[in-house]
Structure formats: C-alpha cells, structure tokens
Copies of this chain bind each other. A is one copy, B any other.
C-alpha cells in the first residue's frame, strides 16, 4: 500500500481507513488519522476490492437474473435494484436469461462462480425446483417481479391488481370478459388472472376456460393471444391483458378486426408502462411500483445477507383509468379530436 510512505504499517492504515466509528477507537491517534486520511485522498487511494474480497470472503457483489432487460418492466425494476445497491456500496451484475431454464441454471452457476454475496431472481418460474436447489445450497437470494414457492419475494400484489380490474369492469357492467393471461409459469400473469377471475366469480359470473388464453409477454404475444380469443366464440365486451406490451398487441389485433378500443371493446393492461398514457387511445392500466420493487428487493436481500429471515412483500397496485376502458373518457377524447 502506497500509504506507508508515512512510515506507518499497512495494518494501521487499513484500520484508519476502514474502521467503522463504533469499533476501532484503538485505531490511531488523531494526528495520525489526519495524516493518513489526507495522503489517502491526495493519492486518490481506493482500496483494491479483489484483495478485500479475497481476505474477507465478501465481495459486495450481487447477481441479478432477469428474463430480458429490453422488457421495460424488468429494466425499471433493475434500475431500482441498482440504485439501492449503489447507495449501499454494492455492485450488481445483471444477466438476461430469456426465461429459459437451462440458461437460468447456467448463468446462476456463472454468477456464483463470480463469488457474489447473494442473488436476485426476476425470472422465477412457478414450478421451480431450481430455486429450491439454490436455496438448499445455502445461496442467499430474494425474488422480485415474480414470486415462487415460499421464497422471500418482493412483488406487486398481482392478485389484488387483478381484482381491481375485475371491479372496474363490473362497475361498467361488463359481463362477457376475457383474459390474455401471459405465461403460465409466471406468477405475475397467474395471480393477476386469478384475482380477476375470483372477483368475477364473487359477482356470480364464471369466466369460461376458452376466455382465458396464455401468451408471451410481448406485443406479438398479445396479438396472437387475442387472435385466438377472437377466433373462438362470441366477442367479449372487455379484455384484461396482464401486461401493457401484450395490450399493445391486443389493440393491434382488435383494430385489424375493425374493433374500436374504448368504444366497441374495453381493454385494460398492467404495469402502467410510460407509453400506456401516450397511446392514441390511452390505455387503462394497473400501475405497479416497479422501481420501488427493485429497491425493496435489494433491501430484502441485504436483510437476508445479515442473517434475518427474509419475508415476502406485496406492493400495492393502483388502477389508472383511461379512455381504453372508460366510455366517458373515450367520448371526451373523441370530442376533443373532432373540434381540433
């Protein structure tokens, strides 16, 4: 270490620079402390993290797995993770797994090989024995975005979100409804759907099987799911698409069939992605606190790293009603366009 050009031993310097106020009062005399501090930042000293990790067996590194960062939902969650991590002096690796189990496995190994202190999974699969294995190996981790099994997770209260949408539809008098439900292995889609379905059941309305279609989480998935929906049976009057990008595909498909979203059919998305408000017919959507979810996910992990139990948090969603589902707003929109 360069700082023993002060004639001090490295250990002394290490103590001075590292000691938390509480522990190391025995560190050095205050003049020495000053001298060390001064030289340290004159030289722009930064301690070598590899040496430190090697010695302490702690890397201050967190591995984050997501299906794909080009999904704005995951990207936003990750922004929250990264922000919170930076505040705590932690660094994060993020990896795309494309939701493929083999990739999840392989990349997890790779990340663990990097000796991360813990992991955050944003791509949990519901069935996942994989996560059980990881937990059994004693790797500390938390889940964000999707929950799975009993593993600690920070997620939106998707079930509640689904109920909110159902409530909204019921208030508007919709009885013939359908769901584009996303991937069956993702708790997000599943929970949103079941909240929706249950609320309808409570209202005495059973949604038939063929009115619930699974789909990929992107625009094309939404389009395909909607096409399948339109191909079978009579038209529903309202559609719940469990994520905004899917909803965009849905809207496209509906237009192709000559249906006016907001007038002929109501559509609601999920996540309240920034563009929902900007669509030609603004999209009603359930806002989920994605950034906050990331932040809390990281904090949850830190708690686990400190040996505390680690619990699941459900974040409160909020329904943002716009013209795609509200006749009045839609009428207002049309009026405005006509007079312009």
Nearest B residue to A72 via CB reads B70
Q: For chain A, give the interface size range.
A: 35 or more
A69 to B, closest residue via Cβ: B75
- In whole angstroms, how far apart are the Cα atoms of A149 and B275 in the complex? 34
Of the 9-residue stretches A165-173, A201-209, A253-261, which lies at the interface with chain B? A253-261
> Bound state CA distance, A84 and B275, in angstroms?
30
Residues of B within 8 A of A219 (CB): 274-275, 278
Say yes or no for A43: interface residue by CB 8 A criterion. no
Copies of this chain held together in the complex = 2
Across-interface contacts of A82 in B (CB, < 8 A): 94-96
In the complex, chain B residues whose CB is within 8 Å of the CB of A76: 70
Write the A46-61 contact mask toward B (1 if CB under 8 angstroms, else 0): 1011110110000100
Min distance, Cβ A18 to any Cβ of chain B, angstroms: 15
Closest to A223 in B: B278
Q: How far is the CA of A68 from the CA of B219 in the complex (A)?
A: 22
The answer to whether A115 has its CB under 8 Å from any CB of chain B is yes
Which A residues have a C-beta under 8 Å from some C-beta of B?
Answer: 46, 48-51, 53-54, 59, 68-70, 72, 75-76, 78-79, 82-83, 86, 91-96, 107, 110, 112-115, 218-220, 223, 245, 248-249, 251-252, 255-259, 274-275, 278-281, 336-340
